[in-house]
Amino acid sequence: MIFDTHTHLNDKKFCDYDIATLLKGVDGVIVASCDIDSNYTGFELANKYPNIFTTLGIHPHDSKTYNDVIERFLINNYNNPKVVAIGEIGLDYYYNFSDKETQKKIFIRQLQLANQFKLPVVFHIRDAMGDFIEILNNNKNLLNNGGVVHSYSGSVETAKELIKLGMYLSFNGIITFKNSKKAVEVIKEIPLNNILIETDCPYLTPEPYRGQINLPMYVVKVAEKIAEIKNISKEEVLNVTYQNAQKVFVKLGERK
């Protein structure tokens, strides 16, 4: 099963693309939402295509735009069978498009909603790992449904701490880059049972396609790199990571 757990087919870069064509080479994808427009578009795509699923949530960049209209949309649609998680939510101190305190406040609010909805969470964390871990440790009561740290870039030690908190770690085309030593070390040290694969397309295109727009089918290149790191077959990586996706995104496992 070739399954991409984190795409942005709702991104404007794909406006001129045929979605059915983008889905060639994969059995399914999850579309991650970021702002109000991408929430609407991701929701529409998921309800139109049987092999597209979606998340609902507001990215830390857009935390300052969070309002009652957005929250009402989340509340009204979380129980749709194609909505598999709340996300991508979290903290991003690299750009600080929203101030840190607002990011923290909206992050925690969406953790509360995810717990209320009994949905897992997809996390976006950049240059904010310390505050992220602190928030998780202070809100363990909200982590009953697990989650995924998308595009994981932290240390081995932090990876093990997150796994203890019930998190999965997701990797994308970055691991194929020559300077991606930290992620490779993490993959070596943690069990395959705690790993997911993604593209984050249209961004982070893996080698040998770097410089081109990223596509869901390139998730196979991520699987191949993990297989190389762990000295196992690509097929085993694809099968186990899909099983992992079914465990964390429970609605995937419920579908026949």
Is residue 147 within 8 Å of 122, Cβ to Cβ? yes
Percent residues over pLDDT 70 in the chain: 99
pLDDT band at 62 (very low <50, low <70, confident <90, very high): very high
Confidence (pLDDT) at 230: 98
Please state, rounded to an integer, the average pLDDT across all residues of the chain.
97
pLDDT tens digits for range 90-134: 999 999 899 999 999 999 999 999 999 999 999 999 999 999 999
**pLDDT band (50, 70, 90) for residue 84:** very high
Task: Please identify which residue in the block is written with the tokens 């990571």.
Answer: 241
Q: Which domains does the chain have, with CATH numbers?
A: 3-254 (3.20.20.140)
Q: What is the mean pLDDT of residues 38-60?
A: 97
| pLDDT of the residue at 255 | 65
pLDDT at residue 238 greater than cutoff 80:
yes
Neighbours of 99 (CB within 10 A): 11
Band of pLDDT at residue 254, cut at 50, 70 and 90: confident
Query: pLDDT value at position 253?
Result: 77
pTM of the model: 0.97
Q: pLDDT (tens digit, 9 = 90+) per residue, 166-204?
A: 999 999 999 999 999 999 999 999 999 999 999 999 999
